[in-house]
Structure 1
Amino acid sequence: MRVVVMLKTAEGGRWVVPQVVELRRRGNEVIVLLPAGPGRLREQLHRAGVPMIDSPFQFRFRPGVSTFVQLHRLRRLLRRLRPDVVQYHHYHAALAVRLCAPGLDLARVFMVPGPLFLESGVIRAAERILCRLDDAVIAGSGHTAELYRKLGRPDRTLFAIPYGVDTRLFRPVDAATRAAARHQLGLPNDTFVVIMVAYVYAPKSLVHRGTGIKGHAILLDAWRRFHRDCPASRLILVGSGWDAAGEEYRQELLGRFEVAGEPSIEWFAGVIDVGRYYAAADVSVSPSLSENHGAALEAGASGVPSIVSDAGGLPETVSAGSGWVVPAGDVAALLAALHTAQAEFRAGDLDRRAARARELVERQFDSGDCAGAVADVVEVAGGLHPVPRRRRRLVGTVPG
């Protein structure tokens, strides 16, 4: 079977690599369409020996002849490649394939990496109709699957399968490795270390206007109050701006919260290997306003308990004993959770949560298992199997 996988980025979306590798392992031919230019996703696919083609569509829907020409070229490319299945990630890629593929003999599978676009009433109304053009929808979380169910997507072609995390790459470290990581970062053993790993996205115009969706401002606001009460604490932020607008917003946050003059906060941008930061951390925070599963999976696989907001699929990443769920955008609730986590750190009780966090991720979010489930759906759509061999559904959990 020939599968074309389409993404709107050559940098992000690296969670697709295990899926592509699994499809190829099963003997399928896979070709990935990416925007032209360098990026870490392109590098990983190249190392895996995956064929790539620069997409003729630039993933911008602007009125005019240029958009029509790009869609026409994409249609010609798909007609030439003659795939059995086109699997697309990101909403712009979904729109492009839906618009250019009518009449082509191929199956269309939309894997949804996050619910943000469905939080716009205008897009949600359009998606109620447009999603009928997909042969299957794979939601990246149980939350997103429920949103599509409410839009009328039938259960027989709707799947909830996470992108997952590499539990071999991200795993708990021993005491010596942890001590070395903290020493390198200048962190005393008795310091409570909080980490947030996320790119910085500029505020969106259609949803959550004025606030970056990853919630950096919410955490920084809570941290000022928390550190005042608990001075033996440090906050590590890992992640640059996703694009120029994201970096501009990050610089604005640096100034607004006076990060440069605050010794309790360190912000590392341009980091590729986040492992040593997780090794040094006691608790991870994901305070997003909109999210799939985010960095909570990497943290959990690394044996770091998480405080997550109740946005999107984040509550699915913790169990009653592995972490905490707080209302999105609620600074006071996040502050209270930080105090609770710090008290457990002082009492030596975080180790139990760390073990449960690792167990949960191994059980439900291993990227190898998730990639296998995605490959099942893609092969069913392409006609290799009459029915899915397995269906993975996620259930949100409650805070503990």
Structure 2
Amino acid sequence: MRVLAIGTSYPKGPDDSTAPFVRSISHGLQDYGIEVHLLLPYHPDLDWPSGDPPVQLHTYPYVRRSWRRLHVWGYAGSLRSDVALRGEALAILPLAAASSLIHLQRLARRLKPALIHAHWLLPNAPLAAIVSRRTGIPLAISLHGSGAFMAERYRVLARAARFALRRASAVTACSRDLASRVEALGASAESVFVIPYGVDTAEFRPASESLRAKAKASLGAGPETFLVLAVGRLVAKKGFEFLIRAMPSLNGGHELPLLIIAGAGDLEQELRQLARSLQVSERVRFMGDTDRQRILELYRAADVLAVPSIHDAAGNVDGLPNVVLEGLASGLPIVASSIAGIPDVIQHEENGLLVPEQHPEALATALRRLASQPDFRQFLGQHGRQVAEESLNWSSITGRYAEVLRRAARGTTRA
């Protein structure tokens, strides 16, 4: 079976961590006999010289290649702090939308796929729905978070989303929360399937104590340092402000705890200033944009993963942060906000600790508990690894995607 997919984000190269789940889904489907062609916006940093076999990548231009500053469509570059389109992205929106529509339709007529698969509700699903209607090819939509938020916020986008959802034979959501939100936007409950993301349990795996000590040393930290890791773009919905606010009341062992924040984004200077104002800047280290290999090293160094996600001021929230799955597979205890898709995979006091969002004291209390109870940390980490191996490995997750996509192609998803 051949599937023509459209997305706006994808790892720009083997070491890039932009939207890794799109690549994992696309690659995993090949193991279930599904040939995937993926249409993406052109980006000057897209570095797959031979494509990304077995996935067949296609790109569409929307501005001149020499206009590097205007290549802001997709690849986590279109939104400012994940709440509004950047000015440049808004300016090129008509060009990007027209080009993607033209190229998707051309590919659909040339490749004759059994199914069109749109990643993200916006902007891709309405464009895919137009091509689906023109060609008669069935449509499936996979939701990844921000598209639903934009549809909830703007009436004109809600209408576009509703058109796409009603055209789709199947809709997948990475969390129960996202599924309920998309049903409110117009998707029929019978066509919505909750499928969480998966994780590569061979790549992300627990570190031995000696390896953890070595990884800590590479960061200039001693083996007894309680190291808290947070990973993600520096945008409001990641909640890093509240994690930094928790730091003044943390202490542990013979050395003060160290917070490592891996990621880049619009709020970096604001977060640095917050750490200085709270007099914890020496214990909060910003790693900036971090490649995949470095991320693996940071997981090895960490004693705990913190995921303080929030609903930001505009109401945006992550669907299911990939870092939660990576932390589980890495055998790390996790302290995370009890919102969105996080409670779908984190069971309180079984494989992590759940806390209210935007609550520095709750974060500090949970982290102090883990700092003082290494046996409990080990218990949570072992159970998290077990969950990742048994139910969140990519092979089983893409098997669920394959089943839904095959049924969508046959038009048999609805009950």
TM-score by length of 1: 0.82
**SS of the residue aligned with 1:110?**
strand
| Match of residue 358 from structure 1 | 385
2:366 to 313, 337, 357: 337
Alignment counterpart, residue 176 of structure 2, candidates 139, 142, 145: 142
RMSD: 3.1
**Residue 251 (structure 1) aligned with residue 273 (structure 2):** no
Spell out the pairing of 1:165-204 with structure 2 (5 A cutoff): 165-201=199-235
Residue number in structure 2 paired with 1:397: none
What is the deviation of 1:72?
5.0
Contact kept in structure 2, 1:16 and 1:163, CA below 8 Å: no
* Whole-angstrom distance in 1 between the partners of 2:334 and 2:50: 30
* Deviation of the 1:167 alpha carbon: 1.0
One-letter amino acid of the structure 1 residue matched with residue 6 of structure 2: M
- Name whichever of 186-195 and 74-83 sits farther off: 74-83
Change (3 A) 1:187 1:84: same
Match of 2:123 among 92, 113, 116: 92
Amino acid in the other structure paired with 1:190: E
SS at the partner of 2:199?
coil
2:56 maps to 51
Equivalent pair of 1:326/1:333 in contact (CA under 8 Å): yes
SS in 2 for 1:46: coil
Q: Which position in structure 2 is the counterpart of 1:305?
A: 333
Partner of 1:374: 401
Gaps of 5+ in 2: 12-17, 63-72, 75-88, 311-316
1:302 shift after superposition: 0.2
Residue 204 of structure 1 aligns with which residue? none
Q: What is the CA–CA distance in structure 2 between the aligned matches of 1:157 and 1:360, rounded to whole Å?
A: 27
Match of 2:302 among 273, 281, 301: 281
Structure 2 counterparts to residues 117-128 of structure 1, below 5 A: 117-118=148-149, 120-122=152-154, 125-126=158-159, 127-128=161-162
Matches within 5 A, 1:199-210: 199-201=233-235
- Specify the code of the residue in structure 1 equivalent to 2:110: R
Structure 1 residues 224 and 231, CA, compared in 2 at 3 Å: closer, same or farther?
farther
**Letter of the structure 2 residue corresponding to residue 327 of structure 1:** P
8 Å Cα contact 1:20/1:30 also seen in 2: yes
Q: Which letter maps to 2:303?
A: D
**CA displacement 1:256-308 (0-9 Å, x = unmatched):** 32299822122212321211111111111111122222111101100001111
Matches within 5 A, 1:108-119: 108-114=139-145, 117-118=148-149
Distance 2:297 2:332 in 1: 12
Question: Which residue number in structure 2 is paired with residue 9 of structure 1?
Answer: 9
Work out whether residues 10 and 37 of structure 1, in 8 Å CA contact, stay in contact via their aligned partners in 2: no
- Calculate percent identity across the aligned residue pairs: 25
Alignment-derived partner of residue 394 in structure 1: none
Q: Secondary structure at the match of 1:103?
A: helix
Distance of 1:299 and 1:141 partners within structure 2: 18
Contact kept? 2:246, 2:361, Cα under 8 Å: yes
| Number of residue-to-residue matches in the alignment | 369
For 1:61 and 1:5, the matched residues in 2 are separated by: 24
For 1:10-89, what aligned pairs fall within 5 Å after superposition? 10-11=10-11, 12-39=18-45, 43=48, 46-55=51-60, 66=95, 69-70=98-99, 72-74=101-103, 75-89=105-119
